[in-house]
Structure 1
Amino acid sequence: MTMETHLLRTFVTVARGGSFSRAARDLGYTQSAISQHIAALEQDLGTALLTRRPVAPTRAGERLLEHAGPLLTRLDAARADLARLTAAPNGRVILGLTPLSLTAEVAAAARRGTELRVLGREDVLTEVATGSLDLGLVDGMTAPSDPLPLPDFGPLTTTVVGERPLAVAVPDGHPMAGRAVRLAELADAAWIDAPDTAIPLERLRKFASTDGFRGRLRYTGTDVRGLLGLVAAGQGLALLPADVITGVSALSLSSPRVVHRTELVHGDPGEGSALAAALTGQRP
């Protein structure tokens, strides 16, 4: 079993995009070559990885996708880590941020020549690891002083930037408005599934030890104001840092003891060293 890297990359692109023709455009191959790659990988592994109509992973394909995505990211991260050793300075620093990590303090720390890119959590981590970003700010819910549970994308450094309280954004007139609530009390409420903007619902289920918190609708944007507009319209609830909740009501949490935590992630920061120091309150 050889499982060549280019075959794995083709499989991941087809499986995630759900299309052989789209994968051909993205990877610069012909559609016939894409089909040959998938056939060769299936022959190597001795099992079907994709159904063809519609194009979707089989059970074996889903399992391979769990392994292949992180493996390819680690390979790209290794290339980027080596490239940083010989990279020539260009005077530009690219900082990737999740929507909830862009605070007034972060904005004030930005240096001249810094490019800011607002991305989803996983995209920030992947692009830092693979060298598309010099620095990244990621956020999430965790117990006070606990690190964020981040995937292993290689030798990256993480440093805490700040912690702040969380609250549940609810429409004005919500029956629980004005009181502190236990998160588990809201397990059966309607929620907005906004994994890149609010705290992901899977994290709520973990901390409340319940299989509730089902999304009424899914929001894949990175606009916090847009999400709060959906809350105001009664489309569902969202767990957010208390200081970003405006235009709607907020319920404070009595349990569990959790905070919103932001961390800086980087490899060798290079020209981003001064910005990294400013973001973390350290000397460069």
Structure 2
Amino acid sequence: MDPHLLRTFVAVLEHRSFSHAASTLGYTQSAVSQHIAALEADLGTRLVERRPVSPTAAGARLMEHAPALLLRLDAARADLARLHHARPTRLTLACSPAALNPAVARTLAQLRAAADPLDLHVQILGRETVVQNVLTARADLGLVDGVAAPSDPLPLPDLGPASTLATAEQPLAVLFPDGHPLARRRSVRLTDLSQAQWIDAPDSALPLDRLRAVCRTDGFRPRIRHRGTDLLGLAALAAAGHGLTALPLPLAATLPDVTAVPVAEPRLVHRTELLHAAHPTDTARQLAELLTAGSTEAAPVRLLS
């Protein structure tokens, strides 16, 4: 299966348009049509309905595999490029919003003091983009956060020879507007809130599909959708009554006009994990050691799974 054809296939279905895919990829529309036809001939089945543009049953099945396959190829290319283009005085750390906490900031100051000169870059991104940037060498290390049972790893995808290790586990809290009746509670049970209105904020708060999975319910339906990494904006929406959201308790307690109430049941923690390539630079390895020095994790570094 030619990856160039597969990349065209993904672009066509993401844009639902041959012409938009051509513009994005820098091809002519005729070339895009030829790519799709060649991929269909290779696989022996029709993949894309032309009018309107949509996947066939086979195309939908292929789309379940294609993005991960292309990312894995990009990760392999990036891993080889690191052998010849590593820049020892440059370090890029990618973080999901709730993963960049005061402890991480202090650790970066330690690194700067020990590794002067250092060209340090910090990226605040959605969780999926953090993983992608580390695997494709746009970042040297990543910090991703999520919800899990105590000491359980985050459910990260299998994307090859990259390693993760926990750096922190913190209590989970739900944000209520100040004055909300439940804001006076000492703790809450998530299952009691499954039918409440929630804010869908997958890049900054805990994704609602993850809450549905851990609580084994089809609740946690969004009233409003928040896209981006702005935690203050998210708190403002919660304070105005647009819906509930869940964040780590230490972070939630610092946000204005909301009350953070700890989650008592189910037994969950907000977990942050460090992600790095299998062969990090010396500076990246030094930062990884500093970030995990205070971790209570006894388990060894694991492959993404």
- TM-score tier by shorter-chain length is over 0.9
Give distance in 1, aligned partners of 2:222 and 2:18.
31
Q: Which of these residues, 167, 175, 178, is aligned with residue 181 of structure 2?
A: 175
Residue type of the partner of 2:82?
R
Give distance in 1, aligned partners of 2:16 and 2:233.
28
Give distance in 1, aligned partners of 2:285 and 2:36.
43
Alpha-carbon distance, 1:20 to partner: 2.5
CA-to-partner distance for each residue in 1:6-32, whole Å, 9 max, x for gaps?
A: 111111122223332332233221222
- Equivalent residue number for residue 254 of structure 1: 264
Give distance in 1, aligned partners of 2:167 and 2:77.
28
CA-to-partner distance for each residue in 1:148-177, whole Å, 9 max, x for gaps?
A: 111011100111111111110111222222
Q: Which of these residues, 158, 176, 184, is aligned with residue 152 of structure 1?
A: 158
- Equivalent residue number for residue 247 of structure 2: 240
Query: In the alignment, is residue 272 of structure 1 matched against residue 284 of structure 2?
Result: yes
Q: 1:264 to 1:62 in 2, by over 3 A?
A: same
- Equivalent residue number for residue 50 of structure 1: 48
Residue type of the partner of 1:260?
H
Give the structure-1-normalised TM-score. Answer: 0.93
Residue type of the partner of 1:132?
R
Query: In the alignment, is residue 11 of structure 1 matched against residue 21 of structure 2?
Result: no
CA-to-partner distance for each residue in 1:42-63, whole Å, 9 max, x for gaps?
A: 2333433233444333332221
Give distance in 2, aligned partners of 1:43 and 1:252.
56
- Equivalent residue number for residue 165 of structure 1: 171
Give distance in 1, aligned partners of 2:35 and 2:215.
44
Query: In the alignment, is residue 131 of structure 1 matched against residue 143 of structure 2?
Result: no
Answer yes or no: is the 8 Å Cα contact 1:269–1:276 preserved in 2: no
Q: Which of these residues, 47, 60, 63, is aligned with residue 62 of structure 1?
A: 60
Q: What SS is found at the alignment partner of 1:168?
A: strand
Give distance in 2, aligned partners of 1:120 and 1:81.
22
Query: In the alignment, is residue 281 of structure 1 matched against residue 287 of structure 2?
Result: no
- Equivalent residue number for residue 303 of structure 2: none
- Equivalent residue number for residue 121 of structure 2: 115
Alpha-carbon distance, 1:87 to partner: 2.6
Alpha-carbon distance, 1:273 to partner: 1.9
Give the structure-2-normalised TM-score. Answer: 0.87
- Uncovered stretches (5+) of structure 2, i.e. residues with no partner: 113-117, 295-305
- Equivalent residue number for residue 30 of structure 1: 28
Residue type of the partner of 2:287?
L
Q: Which of these residues, 223, 226, 229, is aligned with residue 230 of structure 2?
A: 223
Q: Which moved more, 1:156-165 or 1:175-184?
A: 175-184
Give the share of equivalent positions with the same residue, in percent: 57
Greater than 3 Å deviation, 4+ residue runs = 51-56
Q: 1:20 to 1:90 in 2, by over 3 A?
A: farther
Alpha-carbon distance, 1:131 to partner: 1.5
Q: Which of these residues, 100, 103, 108, is aligned with residue 102 of structure 1?
A: 100
Give distance in 2, aligned partners of 1:177 and 1:124.
33
Answer yes or no: is the 8 Å Cα contact 1:193–1:219 preserved in 2: yes
Give distance in 1, aligned partners of 2:232 and 2:65.
36
Residue type of the partner of 1:102?
L
- Equivalent residue number for residue 302 of structure 2: none
CA-to-partner distance for each residue in 1:235-263, whole Å, 9 max, x for gaps?
A: 11101111222221222211011111111
Q: Which of these residues, 201, 209, 213, is aligned with residue 194 of structure 1?
A: 201
- Equivalent residue number for residue 143 of structure 1: 149
Give distance in 2, aligned partners of 1:125 and 1:28.
26
Q: Which of these residues, 72, 75, 80, is aligned with residue 74 of structure 1?
A: 72
- Equivalent residue number for residue 216 of structure 2: 209
- What is the RMSD of the two structures over their aligned residues, measured on CA atoms? 1.7
Q: Which moved more, 1:20-29 or 1:166-175?
A: 20-29
- Equivalent residue number for residue 185 of structure 1: 192
Give distance in 2, aligned partners of 1:50 and 1:61.
6
Aligned length: 280
